């Protein structure tokens, strides 16, 4: 019906290319236009001005001979003031862009090791964008953004990289665990040393108190009972202590059977041994 009344409609975000007898005349903006077809005017085609995206997957290898798939995302659009160039100069815009992307990626990535390729994704994307901008601006296209969205090495390479990372982390964890155990053992040894020191100090004070008590008893008895010697008093005190100990052992319900020699000679031997030990401790 539009052709019947010599009218044509151009949608928003599009332009139409007008020809007369097969020769380019002008670019029609969005809206309604008069197109006298009987005078040889016609619409050669429409061109979208919307932002378009092209995802390109390129296989290449790195400097350390690892094959990777590089996925690049190219965002581009046709320029309204150069719509005739965009319409006539390129027959397949997407194939042309893809060829330039392949060329730049296969020239950039082989110069880098695998780790460097991951780290320099932005530099690779910038190189692709600069090259496309120079090439496609002559054909009426603008390169808005270029992104390297993924770098995919072979599955075996990824597994090996994960194992290397896991081994490094396990090594760090083992070092930390060993250091913690070392500190724990040092603290335990310091605690045991302090405990033994305090225990020895307590035993020494206990023995000193016993010696002091016996000395006071001997001196007091010698003063109150004239004619007795210190040895006599010590023997009597030790024998008294001996019988008190025997009484406590027999009175305890939880004590085990204890077999010791008993008799006047045995008591004298025990007293002699205890006296010698106490006097030796007092001397030290």
Residue 58, classed as helix, strand or coil, is strand
The closest of 14, 22, 24, 18 to 6, measured between CA atoms, is 18
Confidence of residue 1 (pLDDT cuts 50, 70, 90): very low
Q: What is the chain's percent helix, strand, coil content, to nearest 5?
A: 60, 25, 20
Which helix (DSSP H) or strand (DSSP E) does residue 183 occupy? helix 155-224
Interval 100-119 mean pLDDT? 88
Is the whole-model pTM more than 0.85? no
Burial of 238: CB neighbours in 10 Å, binned 0-12, 13-18, 19+ = buried
What is the chain's length?
284
Report pLDDT digits (tens) over 4-48.
Answer: 567 888 888 888 888 888 888 888 888 888 888 778 888 888 888
pLDDT value of residue 73? 92
The closest of 48, 4, 50, 12 to 32, measured between CA atoms, is 12
Question: Mean pLDDT in the chain?
Answer: 80
The angle at the Cα of 14, spanning 56 to 54, to the nearest 5 degrees, equals 5
């Amino acid at each position: 019906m539009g052709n019947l009344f010599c009218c044509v409609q151009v949608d928003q975000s599009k332009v139409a290319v007008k020809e007369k007898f097969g020769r380019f005349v002008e670019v029609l903006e969005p809206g309604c236009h008069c197109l006298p077809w009987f005078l040889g005017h016609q619409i050669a085609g429409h061109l979208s001005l919307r932002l378009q995206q092209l995802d390109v997957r390129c296989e290449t290898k790195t400097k350390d001979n690892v094959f990777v798939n590089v996925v690049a995302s190219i965002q581009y659009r046709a320029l309204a003031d150069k719509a005739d160039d965009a319409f006539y100069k390129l027959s397949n815009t997407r194939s042309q862009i893809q060829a330039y992307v392949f060329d730049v990626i296969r020239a950039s990535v082989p110069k880098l090791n695998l780790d460097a390729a991951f780290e320099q994704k932005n530099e690779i994307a910038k190189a692709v964008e600069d090259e496309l901008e120079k090439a496609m601006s002559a054909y009426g296209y603008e390169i808005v953004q270029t992104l390297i969205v993924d770098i995919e090495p072979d599955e075996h390479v990824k597994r090996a990289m994960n194992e290397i990372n896991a081994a490094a982390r396990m090594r760090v964890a083992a070092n930390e665990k060993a250091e913690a155990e070392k500190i724990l053992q040092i603290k335990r040894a310091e605690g045991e040393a302090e405990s033994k020191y305090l225990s020895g100090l307590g035993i020494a004070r206990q023995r000193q108190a016993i010696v002091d008590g016996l000395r006071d008893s001997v001196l007091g008895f010698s003063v109150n009972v004239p004619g007795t010697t210190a040895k006599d008093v010590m023997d009597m005190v030790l024998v008294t202590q001996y019988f008190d100990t025997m009484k406590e052992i027999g009175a305890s319900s939880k004590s085990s059977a204890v077999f010791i020699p008993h008799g006047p000679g045995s008591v004298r031997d025990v007293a002699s041994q205890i006296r010698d030990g106490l006097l030796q401790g007092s001397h030290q």
